[in-house]
Structure 1
Amino acid sequence: MIGVSDASLRFGAMRVFAGLSIDVPRGRTTAILGPNGRGKTTLLRSILGFQPLDEGRRHAPAIVGYVPQHGASQAKLSGLDVVTMGRAARLGLFGQPGPDDTKAAHAALVQVGACSLSDLRYDRMSGGQRQMILIARALATGSDALVLDEPTSALDLGNQARTLALVSTLNRARDRAILFTTHDPNHALAVADDVVLMMPGGAVVQGPVAQMITPDLMAELYGVPMHWVRPDGPQGRIAMLPEFTGKDALCA
């Protein structure tokens, strides 16, 4: 399980959240949605222990698999080297990776389908390739908690689809708690069980994805009218889009 209990945090006069409790148990995936600047990353940092809380407490495993928004691209390391860095917390300050750590890194690369990136230099990878490496690094930790900060924010549509498919596969395994932030309600629809909405006025509401991803709540969250669409016809999968995308052409 990972989350916070009765947590409050302020930056000066700005309240980021107050009395907030979030529990993501093993086997569940939770998405955090909110407009720019609302504090999604700050909430993740609080859950990870990077940002001290003013009140309340965090609960998390000693080791958490974390995928930041942007991975530094200047590192002159191979993909395997970067993934192996996920074992660092298990090695101690002066420990060196051994055969078991290399084996865990290889297994993580296999899990994300990125074995071809093993020998490629990280600073020469595309954004999508780096994202697969960072997810593999998080998995190599062996933690049963995975935290991803806007994992598709810098990716093209194809790499967004691949990243979401990977998170969906990890979710179906039901063997870890997964928490991620996103701007897109369709990402929550695709992979999440539960949703946390950080509303513009300071409130935080949460519940099952079917109750949280609605046109009314999304319009309140983002300040634009939203509607359901079925791009593939009456029997197709539904999606949530702003009305400026063409309601008449794609309406459910």
Structure 2
Amino acid sequence: MTKTAARPLLTLRNLAFGRGEALSAPISLEVSPGKILTILGSNGRGKTTLLDTIASILHPLSGDICRYARIGFVPQQFSTTLAYSVLDIVLMGRAREIGTFELPKPEDEAAAMKALRRLGLEDLADRDFRRLSGGQQQLVVIARELAGGAELLLLDEPTATLDLKRQETVLSLMESLAARGTGIIFTTHEPLHAGLVADDALLMLPGEKSLYGSADKILTPENLFEAYGVRIDAVAGKGAGRLISDFEIRRGNLPQP
């Protein structure tokens, strides 16, 4: 008996995206349950704009987005002027279950605390969210989406403001979630992180070009040099590896004041 392949959580077909004009040639890709897709590229290539489009914050310029899953979006920054506790923020992820004008039930608080524990944040549950560091705030927002039962997580540079230990925590969490069937799309400027956890990669290149495919085929030194203009001597493989960037530091090239 032939085993039927799982339906993708997300499919993009000839998607053109941007804020007024397209930032890339049309893109086609899909994310299946349990798979991790990384998006890399230098600043201004449209990584965040693409996530905003997938999350329905922006409308596509053309092409199709087929969403077959509950999507959770974790932006680079999330702020509030109100005195919400960390637990309050995470409970916001339960909005679909709680309903309008209803109070959180014990099972909602249990789900929120479970999400905080997964990220080692349970001791911060009663803290004022505004008093946390930027890295801690981003982890809390990840916990919010986990508490809401997201089947596809969109993470915009989830390790950018974290110390090394927290980076390892988030990367390990991605692997753990994927093993349970959650799909993940994350942007990063760290090819090492991409190589460690990603199954597939979308590499945004100059000239509105992009490369998409399995991470081990896309994250090559040649392709990364085209994307960043920096030579990469080694690229990590999924689960283990190392990365050496061959920076060439030149003195005396700054303009005179």
Alignment of 1:7-26 (within 5 A): 7-12=15-20, 14-26=21-33
In the alignment, is residue 143 of structure 1 matched against residue 146 of structure 2?
A: no
2:17 is paired with a residue whose SS is strand
Match of 1:97 in 2: 104
8 Å Cα contact 1:49/1:58 also seen in 2 = no
Of the three residues 4, 10, 21, the one matched with 1:2 is 10
User: What amino acid is aligned across from residue 113 of structure 2 in structure 1?
Assistant: H
Match of 1:239 in 2: 242
User: What amino acid is aligned across from residue 39 of structure 1 in structure 2?
Assistant: G
User: Residues 10 and 77 (structure 1 numbering): CA distance in 2 closer, same or farther, change over 3 Å?
Assistant: closer
User: Residues 156 and 73 (structure 1 numbering): CA distance in 2 closer, same or farther, change over 3 Å?
Assistant: farther
TM-score by length of 2: 0.84
Shift of 1:62: 6.0
8 Å Cα contact 2:98/2:108 also seen in 1 = no
Q: Which is richer in helix?
A: 1
Shift of 1:73: 5.9
Shift of 1:139: 0.4
Shift of 1:122: 1.0
In the alignment, is residue 129 of structure 1 matched against residue 132 of structure 2?
A: no
Count the aligned residue pairs.
238
Extract unaligned runs of 5+ from structure 1.
231-236, 247-252
Shift of 1:10: 4.5
8 Å Cα contact 1:6/1:55 also seen in 2 = yes
Match of 2:255 in 1: none
Shift of 1:245: 7.6
* RMSD of aligned alpha carbons: 2.2
Shift of 1:149: 0.5
Shift of 1:67: 1.0
Instruction: Give the whole-Å Cα distance in 2 for the aligned partners of 1:7 and 1:79.
Output: 36
1:130 is paired with a residue whose SS is helix
Identity %: 40
User: What amino acid is aligned across from residue 196 of structure 2 in structure 1?
Assistant: A
Match of 2:4 in 1: none
User: What amino acid is aligned across from residue 238 of structure 1 in structure 2?
Assistant: G
Match of 1:221 in 2: 227
Of the three residues 173, 187, 190, the one matched with 2:193 is 187
Match of 2:5 in 1: none
8 Å Cα contact 1:86/1:141 also seen in 2 = yes
